[in-house]
Amino acid sequence: MSPLSPRPRAGTDRVPAPAIFAVSGLTLYVGAAVAVGLFDTLGAPAVSWWRIVLAAVVLLAWRRPWRRTWTRRSLAAAGLFGIVLAAMNIAFYVGIDRLPLGVGVAIEFVGPVAVAAVTGRGWRERVAIAVAAAGVVLLAGVTLESDLPREDVVVGLAALLTAAACWAGYIVLGKRVAGAGAGIDGLAVGMAAGAVVFAPFFGASVGQVVPDPGLLLFLLVVAVCSSVVPYVLDQVVLRRVGTATFSVLLAMLPAIAVLVGAVVLRQLPTWPEVTGLVLVSGAIALTARS
């Protein structure tokens, strides 16, 4: 090979970022489908906390981040990243326990859109934000003017707006952790920090979960599908793209949610939702660079 020839890309570098993100989103919502079935048994916030705890255990055992050299600054950044991540997950689970999943995803998407609008500079990202936003609105497919109890609507909206704010923070902090080279090690440390910070609120559920191997197994499935796999892949994508492009890639999530809903929950999409899928695909095409 000539010294001037480009070096071949290895591993995930050969896979387009949108393809990696599609796998991330698919596992995320398969895990969410399992989690919803556990809400009546354990409660949405506790299910989310166990998702973080078990994901932290898996990542710590895999990565053993204590072997690397940490500065006080990098350790603090990873910890803050994990706390925001845990808060985002807990708030989102509370939201979708009160409101339909499609509405929840659409409202939470306010966070990534805000990041893309602030950090994006090119015309592609600006146009893609508008296209993706239109697609998300159509994919929601549900109006808040429903027969749901007002208390559920108020609590659900507050939780989802909190999740949206945390999602914006997750993108910015995640890019910082990935850019500093901590990557998946930083994710492992962050997950552990998030689990510890919220333990005083949900630690009482240990007595219910640990003696029940079946429940623990389902929670492990949720942790691996909804936290370990997608967030590891997020770190891979964040190393390769900017926060604005990553924010628009997040527009794939509502489309994937519709797909999982159709296959797993038999919730077939309507024509407005199909139109939303086309718009989201257009937004991805605008930002997907070689």
- DSSP, collapsed to helix, strand or coil, labels residue 269 as coil
Alpha-carbon distance 75 to 68, whole Å? 11
Alpha-carbon distance 188 to 203, whole Å? 20
Q: Which residue carries 């979960």 as its tokens?
A: 209
Q: What pTM did the predictor assign?
A: 0.79
H helices then E strands: how many in the chain?
Answer: 15, 0
Residue 7 has pLDDT above 60, yes or no: no
Banded model confidence at residue 128, pLDDT cuts 50, 70, 90: confident
Q: What is the mean pLDDT of the chain?
A: 80
- Token readout for 69 is 């050299």
CB atoms < 10 A from the CB of 63, how many? 18
User: C-alpha angle with apex 69: 64 to 74, nearest 5 degrees?
Assistant: 95
Residue 126 has pLDDT above 60, yes or no: yes
Banded model confidence at residue 6, pLDDT cuts 50, 70, 90: very low
Residue 112 has pLDDT above 80, yes or no: no
Q: Are 90 and 142 in contact (CB under 8 A)?
A: no
Q: Lowest-pLDDT range, 144-148, 152-156, 171-175, 254-258?
A: 144-148
What's the pLDDT score for residue 288?
Answer: 58
All residues at 6 or more sequence positions from 52 whose CB lies less than 8 Å from its CB, including other chains: 85, 86, 89, 191, 194, 195, 198, 223, 227
Is pLDDT larger for residue 32 or for residue 273?
32
Tell me the domain boundaries of the chain: 16-287
Alpha-carbon distance 82 to 76, whole Å? 10
